[in-house]
């Protein structure tokens, strides 16, 4: 079960990892993407209905990993819908992450 509170906990953990600590970020990204991928429909619902623009701007770091693990075209469609609702600054930061996520889907 995917829970909004748990997503918030992951994001708080991420904010504590120094940007230049690659190993720490890799470990975090693996744990967080595994969690989100464990139930992609619940993840999509929470991303679309509960997450703030600031939270989405952090979560988009793992869009490609989630897409790779789930191969979900529904997820790709959802992140496009989310993108369309975001403020301009968040939209810009999401665009490359969406491209990377799309590239992970094998047709």
pLDDT in tens, 17-35: 988 888 888 999 999 999 9
Yes or no: say if 51 and 59 are a contact pair by the CB < 8 Å rule.
yes
| Torsion of the alpha carbons at 57, 63, 65 and 68, rounded to the nearest 10 | 180
Confidence (pLDDT) at 20:
83
Q: Which pTM value belongs to this model?
A: 0.94
| 43's tokens | 């993840």
d(CA 79, CA 73): 10
d(CA 107, CA 44): 21
């Amino acid at each position: 079960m995917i829970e909004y509170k748990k997503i918030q906990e992951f994001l708080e953990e991420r904010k504590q990892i120094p940007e230049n600590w690659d190993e720490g970020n890799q470990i975090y990204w693996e744990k967080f993407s595994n969690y989100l991928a464990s139930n992609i429909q619940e993840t999509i619902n929470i991303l679309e209905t509960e997450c703030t623009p600031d939270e989405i701007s952090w979560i988009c770091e793992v869009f490609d990993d989630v897409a790779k693990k789930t191969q979900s075209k529904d997820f790709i469609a959802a992140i496009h819908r989310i993108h369309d609702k975001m403020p301009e600054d968040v939209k810009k930061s999401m665009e490359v992450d969406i491209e990377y996520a799309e590239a992970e889907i094998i047709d």
